[in-house]
Structure 1
Amino acid sequence: MRLHAALSVLAISFLPGMGQAASCGGDFGGFVREMKAEAVRMGHAPSTVDAFFASVRQDPKVIRADRAQGIFKKTFAEFARAVISQNRMTNGQRNAQKWAAVFNRIKSDYGVSPGVLLAFWALETDYGQVQGDFNTLNALVTLAHDCRRPHLFRPQVFAALELYERGDFDPARTTGAWAGEIGMVQMLPEDILVNGVDGDGDGHVSLKTSPPDALMSGAKMLRGLGWRPGEPWLQEVTVPQNLDWSKTGLDTELTTNQWAAMGVKPRSGSLPRGLRASVLLPMGRKGPAFLAYPNFRVFFEWNQSFVYVTTAAYFATRLEGAPVFDAGNPDPALSDAEMKSLQKKLAARGHDVGAIDGILGALTRSAVQKEQMRLGLPADAWPTRDLLSRL
C-alpha cells in the first residue's frame, strides 16, 4: 500500500546530455532495451545492466492489481474494524516488548513513537508475515512501461539497480507488493537508498528479514518527511452539536486552546497546549471525531488514501493505549454508484475531485464541504443522499 515516490533519481534520469528517457507503452522488449540504454547513459556498467535486466518479465497481474484498489471505498469505520483485529493488537504489544531496545533507539534518534511504526508494520505486512510475492523488478518495470504512472515507477527501477550494485537486491528473487514495495514496512527502492539503516549491524540493509533494519529505516524516512519528535499525531475528541462545521477538515488549523474554547474536548487524557490541529470528522459530524496534529499529515507522505491514513494513525494511538473510537451514529454512506454520481455533479460545478472513482478522498471531501456551505447544510464534508438529491 506504500505509494510514496521521491524525485531525486527521476531528476537524474532527465539531466541534460543523459539522452532520451525510455517512453512508456509499446513493445515491452523494446522498452526494456531503452531502459538498459538509459541506465548505461547514467553511468552503470553495461555488464551490470545486462545482468540486472536479464530475468525481467512483464507481469499482467501487477496491472490488474493497480486497477483494482476498491478497498479504499470502505468508510473509516468499516476499514478500521476490518484491519485492526485483536490478533494484531496482541502481536503489536508482543513486538513492542520484543524489540523494545530498537524502539528506544528509534525514539532517541528519530523521535518517532513506537505505536506509529507498529501500526505500519501491522497494516503493511502483518508484522512481516505477508510481504507480497510479486517479483519486485518485474512489478517496477511493468508499471514503468504502463502509461498510467510511469513517472513514479521509472526512478524506482534505477534505484533497484543501485541496490543491486550494493548487494541488497536480487533481480530474480527479491519479492514484495505489486507496486514494488519491499520488506516489513514496505518501502520503495528509492526510499531504501535514501533512508535505509543497517539496524542490526550486519553490513546490509535487509528490510525483508531484519526487524531492526526495517523499523529504523521506516523511522528515518518518517523523520525525513517532516515528523516532529515528541508530538502527537491524532487524538479522539468529542465535539459540541453547535460547532461551526465549516471549520472542520484538514484545510483549517486552529490552536488546541481555540478548539477547547469552542467546546472540543479530549475523550481521554488532555489536550496538548500550544499545538495547532484540525478537527477531523471521517464520517461526518455524527460519527467519530479526532484532532489531527501536524504529524498526522506526514502519514500522507507514506500513503495517499484518506481512509488508510486515518486508520493507520488511529491504530497507532490504540497500540499506545487509546480506547476504541466512539462510532456515533453517522448518516449512511453513499453506494459506489451514488458516490460516482456525486463526483460527476461536483466536477460539473467546477470542483476538482480527481478521478471519478467512487472513493471519498480529500479532494471530494473538500468539494462536498464547499457545496454544503453553499446550500446552507452542516458543512462536515460527509456526503449524504440529501446532498446528492439537492445537487
Structure 2
Amino acid sequence: MRRLFFIVLLTIVPSFVQAQCGGSWSAFLGGIRTELRSAGLSTREIDGFLAGARQEPKVLRADRAQGVFQKSFLDFAAAVISQNRMVNGARNTKLYAATFDQIERTYGVPRGVLLAFWALETDYGAVQGNFNTRNALLTLAHDCRRPELFRPQVIAAAELYRRGDFDPQRTTGAWAGEIGQVQMLPDDIMRNGVDGDGDGHVRLKTSAPDALMSGAKMLRDLGWRPGEPWMQEISVPASLDWAKTGLETELSTKDWAAMGVKARQGTLARGMRGSVLLPMGRNGPAFLVYPNFRVLFEWNKSFVYVTTAAYFATRLEGAARMKPGTPDRGLSPAQIKLLQSKLTKLGYDVGKVDGILGAKTRPAVQAAQERLGLPADGWPTKTLLDRL
C-alpha cells in the first residue's frame, strides 16, 4: 500500500522527464528500448521483457481514485486492525519464529513492525494485487504525472527479469507496481531483496521468509535503529502546552515527564528524545513517537497509514488497546480542502490542496490555531475553519 508515496531513489532532471513521458505509445516504448539497451540488456532480453506490453487504463483509474487516506486515524485503524489480523499475526509469529529471530539478530527490526506491514499491505500475503506489474509500471511511466518515480522502476523490473526473478507476462501486484507479500517496488527489491529461504532466488510473492527478510533489510537501510522503540501510548495533562505537540517538536523523555506526560504501560524510554503525537487532537488518543517512527515514513508517506501501522505493531508486540478518548468533531474532506485553500492564501504551506490532513497540513493548522489563540493541537475543527 505504498501507492502514491514512493521513495525517490533516482533523480532525473525535469527536462529529461518531459521528453520521456506522454506521446505515442510506440514512441514511448522505443525510448524504453533505448534505455534498456544502455542499461546493458541484450536485444533478446529487451524483446522478452516488452513482448505484449500494453497500456492499462484501469491503472490510471486507480491512481486517480485514491481516497482511503481521507479517513481519520481512528476510522482507518478500526477498519484495518481486525481481530482476525491480530489472531493471524500471533499465528504467523509462531510459524515464522526462526525467520523473525534471524531478522532481529541481523537487522534489529522487531517482528511486530514487520507483521503490521505484512498485514496491512497484503493481509499476510493473501491479497497481493492482480495488476500486471510490467504493464502498470509502463503505464505510469508513460503518464506525465510522476514519470520520474516510475521510469526507474521499469528499468529495475527489466533487470530482475534478466536475473530470472521477474516474469513480465505473469508477475502481478498492486496497481502502482509493488510486488509481493510486503509490496516492494522493483528497485527496492534490487537494493534490498534477500533470499530468506535459501533457494537461490528472491521470490517475494511466494516466499514469506524472502519477503520478511527483504522488508527488514529495507527498513534497516532506511535508518531503523535496532533496540529502540518506535511508539508508545501516553496520557497527557490538560495543562500541556499543545503547541509543543506534533512531529515538528522533539524533546527528551525527561522533559516530557516534567510536563506531566506518562506512559500508559510501563515507563517512557529513558535517555531518548521523542514527539508527542495527537493524531486526532488533544481529546483523542496520544502517543510518544521516537526516531524509528520517522523511518516508517520512508515506507509510506501517509500520516494516517504510518500512525496506524506503528500502533498496530505495538499491539502485535503485546500493548493494550489504545484509549480513543472523545475527539472533537473533525472536518469532512471537502471542508479540509477549503481549509487548505484558506491556509494557503494566508501563506501557510499545506502541500497539495487535496482534502487530506497530511504531514504538511497538520503543522499549518497548528500554527494557525496558535495565531488565533485556539488550542494548538493540530486537529482542525469547524471553529478554526470559521475563524479563518
Q: Is the 8 A contact 1:21 1:38 kept in 2?
A: no
1:2 maps to 2
Question: Which TM-score applies when normalising by structure 2?
Answer: 0.97
Return the offset for 1:46: 1.9
Equivalent in 133, 145, 148 of residue 145 of structure 2: 148
Q: Structure 2 CA distance, aligned partners of 1:231 and 1:113?
A: 10
Equivalent in 329, 341, 345 of residue 344 of structure 1: 341
2:206 maps to 209
Q: Is the 8 A contact 1:136 1:182 kept in 2?
A: yes
Q: Secondary structure at the match of 2:371?
A: helix
Return the offset for 1:43: 2.2
- The answer as to 2:360 corresponding to 1:363 is yes
- Residue by residue, what CA displacement relative to the aligned partner does 1:131-166 show, whole Å, maximum 9, x if unpaired? 000000011011101111110000000000110010
Q: Give the letter aligned to residue 102 of structure 1.
A: T
- The answer as to 2:84 corresponding to 1:87 is yes
Unaligned runs of 5+ in 1: none
Q: Is the 8 A contact 1:6 1:191 kept in 2?
A: no
Equivalent in 370, 373, 377 of residue 373 of structure 1: 370
Equivalent in 117, 126, 137 of residue 129 of structure 1: 126
Q: Structure 2 CA distance, aligned partners of 1:5 and 1:190?
A: 11
Equivalent in 94, 109, 112 of residue 112 of structure 1: 109
Q: Is the 8 A contact 1:128 1:183 kept in 2?
A: yes
Q: Is the 8 A contact 2:17 2:147 kept in 1?
A: no
Q: Give the letter aligned to residue 104 of structure 2.
A: K
Q: Structure 1 CA distance, aligned partners of 2:98 and 2:17?
A: 48
Return the offset for 1:29: 2.0
Q: Bigger CA drift: 350-359 or 74-83?
A: 350-359
Q: Bigger CA drift: 43-52 or 269-278?
A: 43-52
- Residue by residue, what CA displacement relative to the aligned partner does 1:250-299 show, whole Å, maximum 9, x if unpaired? 00000111100000000111111011000000000000000010000011
Q: Give the letter aligned to residue 222 of structure 1.
A: L
Q: Structure 1 CA distance, aligned partners of 2:333 and 2:211?
A: 37
Return the offset for 1:105: 0.2
Equivalent in 232, 235, 259 of residue 232 of structure 2: 235
1:102 maps to 99
Equivalent in 60, 64, 89 of residue 67 of structure 1: 64
1:162 maps to 159
Return the offset for 1:96: 0.3
1:335 maps to 332
- The answer as to 2:39 corresponding to 1:42 is yes
Q: Structure 2 CA distance, aligned partners of 1:260 and 1:55?
A: 61
Return the offset for 1:28: 1.6
Alignment map for 1:177-256 (pairs within 5 Å):
177-256=174-253
Q: Secondary structure at the match of 2:228?
A: coil
- Residue by residue, what CA displacement relative to the aligned partner does 1:334-373 show, whole Å, maximum 9, x if unpaired? 0121111101000101111122111000111010000011
- Residue by residue, what CA displacement relative to the aligned partner does 1:194-244 show, whole Å, maximum 9, x if unpaired? 000000000000000001000000000000000000111010000000100
Q: Structure 2 CA distance, aligned partners of 1:225 and 1:5?
A: 13
Return the offset for 1:41: 2.1
1:299 maps to 296
Q: Bigger CA drift: 180-189 or 346-355?
A: 346-355
- The answer as to 2:360 corresponding to 1:382 is no
1:269 maps to 266
| Number of aligned positions between the proteins | 385
Q: Is the 8 A contact 1:22 1:35 kept in 2?
A: no
Q: Is the 8 A contact 2:7 2:298 kept in 1?
A: no
Following TM superposition, where does structure 1 have runs of at least 4 consecutive aligned residues deviating by more than 6 angstroms? none
Q: Structure 2 CA distance, aligned partners of 1:103 and 1:55?
A: 40
Q: Is the 8 A contact 1:22 1:38 kept in 2?
A: no
Q: Give the letter aligned to residue 257 of structure 2.
A: A
Q: Structure 2 CA distance, aligned partners of 1:5 and 1:357?
A: 18
Q: Structure 2 CA distance, aligned partners of 1:21 and 1:389?
A: 41
Q: Secondary structure at the match of 1:362?
A: coil
Q: Bigger CA drift: 352-361 or 126-135?
A: 352-361
Return the offset for 1:55: 1.9
Q: Secondary structure at the match of 2:234?
A: strand
Q: Is the 8 A contact 1:58 1:139 kept in 2?
A: yes
Unaligned runs of 5+ in 2: none
Q: Is the 8 A contact 2:18 2:144 kept in 1?
A: no
Q: Give the letter aligned to residue 156 of structure 1.
A: Q
Return the offset for 1:67: 0.9
Q: Structure 2 CA distance, aligned partners of 1:339 and 1:163?
A: 42
Q: Is the 8 A contact 2:331 2:381 kept in 1?
A: yes
The RMSD of aligned alpha carbons is: 1.4
Q: Is the 8 A contact 1:20 1:38 kept in 2?
A: no
Q: Structure 1 CA distance, aligned partners of 2:71 and 2:356?
A: 8
Q: Structure 2 CA distance, aligned partners of 1:6 and 1:371?
A: 30
Alignment map for 1:279-294 (pairs within 5 Å):
279-294=276-291
- Residue by residue, what CA displacement relative to the aligned partner does 1:56-75 show, whole Å, maximum 9, x if unpaired? 11011111111111110000
Q: Is the 8 A contact 2:196 2:209 kept in 1?
A: yes
